[in-house]
Amino acid sequence: MKLKIEREKIVFEIKRMQEMGLVINTSGNISIKKDDLIAISPSGVSYDNLKSEDIVVLDKDKKIVEGDLLPSSETNLHVSIYDKYNEVSAIVHTHSLYATSVSTLLQELPAIHYQIADLGGPIKVAPYETFGTEALAIAVAKNLKGRKAVLMKNHGAVTVGGDINKSASRAILLEWLCSLYLLSKNSGNPTIIDDNEIKNVMHQMSKFKKLRSSFLN
Burial letters for 156-185: b for 16+ Cβ neighbours within 10 Å, e otherwise? Answer: bbbbbbeebebbbebbbbbbebbbbbbeee
- Alpha-carbon distance of 157 to 125, in angstroms, equals 9
Q: Closest by alpha carbon to 93, among 22, 33, 3, 143?
A: 22
> Do residues 90 and 77 lie in contact, with contact meaning Cβ atoms separated by under 8 Å?
no
Q: Catalytic residue among 6, 13, 74, 175, which? A: 74
Q: What does R_g of the chain's alpha carbons equal in angstroms? A: 17
CA–CA distance from 156 to each of 31, 70, 87, 211 (Å)? Answer: 16, 21, 23, 35
Is 74 considered catalytic here? Answer: yes
Residues serving a catalytic function are 74
